[in-house]
Chain A
Amino acid sequence: MNSLAKPAGWEKFFWPLLAAGLLLAVWYYSVVWTATKVFPSPLSVDKGLAGLLHKHVLWADIGDSLRRVGLGFGAAAIVGIPLGLTLGWYPALNQVVNPVLQFLRPISPIAWIPVAIVFFGVGDRPAVFLIFLSAFFPILVACVSGVSNVPAIFRRAGRNFGLSPAQILTRVVFPAALPQILIGLRIALGVAWLVVVAAEMIAVDSGLGYLVIDSRNSGKRYDLVVAAMLVIGLIGLALDLGFRSLEKIRSVRWGFRHES
């Protein structure tokens, strides 16, 4: 395949499907040849998945995980975007707060688990708190750098047309920073989806993370473990694709590299 040649329509689907098929085949024959009793083959995972769907537990778990991510991510966006815009707008303030933020940022949300339990006990709230933490920093950082990267020429044009500082923030700085803010939100959503699984392994008894750990603990059902993993992957992919479609909105599209 020539990298300059446009792939034909069928090739766009054929090659990825072939790769996926090969991977499944490697998985299947590895299980068969090693005669493992622990790790499931694709076929038993498929059966496990069907069983989960049949018993309706899967939909409830997916719903619970999505709800927690929605709450934590939503709260992180509600707090992080205005705070990030403010810090980007007042560089002096940012210099004061930035060292603390940079210090907190590399601490894995997982390390916060004990703290979350002390603060919030068990149940949804510590899980939502962990997701909030994990999503908060990428959003904040994207907003701060988004605002400080707004070309001075735009702010000057805003001032020239007689805008007040508040109007410059809403009519110039925010739309100019929006593509970068969207990138931050997308990264944050990805991280939140990673963290929800870990968060659900403690302190709650529902959700996809709980499904993974519970399937292992109650009878070493590795077919269900892997089935849950596949579902987690699929939903993560769907969330990312859904978010990416926002980048095609016309008023932000200029900020992303698209062919054409």
Chain B
Amino acid sequence: MATETLKTPSGLRSKLRMEHVSKVFDRDGKSVPVLDDINLDVSEGEFICLVGPSGCGKSTLLNLTGGFLAPTSGSVTIDGQGVHGPDPRRILVFQERGVFPWLTVEGNIGFGLSKLSRVEREQRIAHYIQMVRLQGFEHTYPSDLSGGMKQRLQVARALAVNPDILFLDEPFGALDSVTRLIMRGELLRIWQTERRTIIFVTHDIDEAVQLADRVVVLSSRPAKIEDILTIDIAHPRNISSPRYLELRDELLRKIGLAYTV
């Protein structure tokens, strides 16, 4: 039984598990239910996208799994252990302005590495600068970087501390559509070289179908899991293939949108 509970439906080792998770906020004396009985099992190395109407509680869900909030009821466990507070083993990447403007690219990536020796730290920094393709910008400050570069920097800063899980909260939401497309490709490339579990919040249906192994569809508030859609297309995905369009339409239908403008 013990081994059985650590398996996910896909048969891989379970990384993150949410059981009957509910969250009620207290606003001006009124209780506002945001999440209602969320059950989700994420396997190790899986790429999960959370989609749902805006304001439905996607970010709240991410904050619960990241340990920044505690659930009102239910439990969040990672590797079988309860989540009690933030932890460098799982890093949250924010939508924008998450990098520290007073540090250079190098300083930002090295931010979480103060416990390493200088040599190790420099190697780690160099490795991730290479990975997110910011070579030549080591000593540049974020104010001199483009939006896409800043987000790559934020991802590099997160990866540098070697986390098991990355939580990304609409990380490309503030970028223009072309940069967004490039960034998705970059993220997939990084995910394929350094297999981490990724929970990715987005309101962009295409983004979800392009990136995810499974897309979790949330309902409007209080959010429940409406459906979970497995994206059974191998990477690199052809975004005009019939299967892609089929899945995208299905997803649009699930969140209650017509697919004509």
Contact = CB atoms under 8 A, between A and B. Distances in A.
A18 B103 CA distance: 43
A176 B68 contact: no
B244 interface: no
Contact of A254 (B86, B91, B143): B143
A140 B83 CA distance: 39
User: In the complex, which of the residues A160, A161, A176 has the most CB atoms of chain B within 10 Å of its own CB atom?
Assistant: A160
Given A253-B143, A254-B141, A160 B100 contact: no
A251 B102 CA distance: 5
A160 B102 contact: no
B92 interface: yes
B161 A161 contact: yes
A251 B97 contact: no
A162 interface: yes
Contacts of A151: 97
A54 interface: no
Interface in A139-192: 151, 153-154, 156-157, 159-162, 171-172, 175-176, 178
B88 interface: yes
Nearest to A160: B86
Contacts of B92: 156-157, 160
Interface in B74-116: 85-88, 91-92, 94, 97-98, 100-103, 111-112
Contacts of B85: 159
B57 interface: no
A252 interface: yes
Interface in A236-260: 250-255
A254 B103 CA distance: 10
Contacts of A171: 111
Contacts of A250: 141
A153 B143 contact: no
Contacts of A176: 100, 102
Nearest to A172: B100
Contacts of B87: 160, 162
B88 A161 contact: yes
Interface residues of A, number: 20
B142 interface: yes
Nearest to A179: B102
A178 B102 CA distance: 9
B84 to A, nearest CB: 13
A254 B101 contact: yes
A176 B112 CA distance: 17
Contacts of B103: 175, 251
A117 B86 CA distance: 55
A161 B141 contact: no
B112 A162 contact: yes
A161 B85 CA distance: 11
B171 interface: no
A156 B112 contact: no
A160 B88 contact: yes
B52 interface: no
Interface in A207-255: 250-255
Interface in B166-203: none
B66 interface: yes
Contact of A160 (B66, B97, B101, B143): B66
Nearest to B88: A162
Contact of A175 (B68, B98, B102): B102
Contacts of A251: 102-103, 141
Contacts of B66: 160
A161 B102 contact: no
Contact of A153 (B86, B91, B94, B142): B94
Nearest to B160: A161
Nearest to B107: A251
B98 A157 contact: yes
Nearest to A162: B88
Given A159-B68, A162-B112, 13 more contacts: A153-B94, A156-B92, A157-B92, A160-B87, A160-B88, A160-B91, A160-B92, A162-B86, A162-B88, A175-B103, A253-B143, A254-B101, A255-B101
22 contacts: A151-B97, A153-B97, A153-B98, A154-B100, A156-B86, A160-B86, A160-B91, A160-B92, A161-B88, A161-B112, A161-B161, A162-B87, A162-B112, A175-B100, A176-B102, A250-B141, A251-B102, A252-B102, A253-B141, A254-B102, A254-B142, A255-B101
Interface of A: 151, 153-154, 156-157, 159-162, 171-172, 175-176, 178, 250-255
